[in-house]
Structure 1
């Protein structure tokens, strides 16, 4: 694995199964109520009030909406896209600034927005020391972490560098923070039970997914993937 710093142990490898535990650690620290019962995790409040991050949703991060969010680990200049002027320009930010492209909500949905905020929170929670160490040893590219829409193909992970692994971790940790394993399984089973009482054998998976997405304030796609990952069946 290549690295922006030499032989640093600051990027830990987690399996997807381990990321459930890491997500629980995050929630235990910032929102323990989410581990006790199914709730929509107040991720924006966590970011601002519990983690002390500055969150801005007014800056476009790319011309083609290829970047959803950005976590700024050190103070300095970062590049944003000025739609009115149709040009990229630099703005000054402070350490602990989170930038979320406004189109994350306008072109998608609240669930996508919440997932992006959770994604950036995870970067700050687990990866800020890596970037601070990089800055300490003079690596300029540690200032900010830009998070693209498109995910890299995990089949080619042998060629990934530290940034690729950190992005993979944040991609997979975010839905686990918003939909913790234990409460999600319980909520899904309860909704499936209700669905069978209403629809009987004609119960459809989309109805379960829509109910879970509404409960956790996530996208239907994310709720469906979480069901599949946890092996939850409507039968």
Structure 2
């Protein structure tokens, strides 16, 4: 495993931007001033919007997420898809099958999140969010992702 945690962030960011390309291509193709990672040969041809570059969010990372704009929602959607692509339900189920997810202590949760982070080479925060969503869905009769 890579010991350079910044590599984990770069990996997640790449998949996050790919998720924007999958989910939000029409949204970004309408934004003439949107920065892109790759430019089109014909600047007037918006039929195949280029992969978008990162944008900022109004979320400060503290407390419950407050979606104040369309942009907040699309960032959440890209993060969610990236998380599911990198840490899919089937693989995560196998990784966590030996844990009692209904009765985990805070310390055990931290150990599990560290294991997820190392296994999938994602940041601790990405692993924590995915673990929280996974256990919530798992304990509430499951979800597709």
One fold, TM greater than 0.5? yes
Q: How many residues align?
A: 111
Gaps of at least 5 residues in structure 1 are 1-39, 41-105, 194-200
1:218 aligned onto 2:126 = no
Please state which structure has a larger fraction of its residues in strand.
1
**Rg larger in 1 or in 2?**
1
Look up the match of 1:131.
28
Is the CA contact 1:131–1:143 (under 8 Å) kept in the aligned structure 2?
no
1:140 aligned onto 2:32 = yes
Is the CA contact 1:188–1:212 (under 8 Å) kept in the aligned structure 2?
no
The Cα RMSD (Å) is 3.2
Is the CA contact 1:209–1:223 (under 8 Å) kept in the aligned structure 2?
yes
Look up the match of 2:96.
188
Structure 1 pair 150/175, CA: closer, same or farther in 2 (3 Å)? farther
Shift of 1:224: 2.2
Gaps of at least 5 residues in structure 2 are 37-52, 140-145
- The C-alpha deviation readout for 1:12-70, integer Å capped at 9, x for no partner, is xxxxxxxxxxxxxxxxxxxxxxxxxxxx9xxxxxxxxxxxxxxxxxxxxxxxxxxxxxx
TM-score by length of structure 2 reads 0.59
Structure 1 pair 165/186, CA: closer, same or farther in 2 (3 Å)? same
Secondary structure of 1:151's counterpart equals: coil
TM-score by length of structure 1 reads 0.39
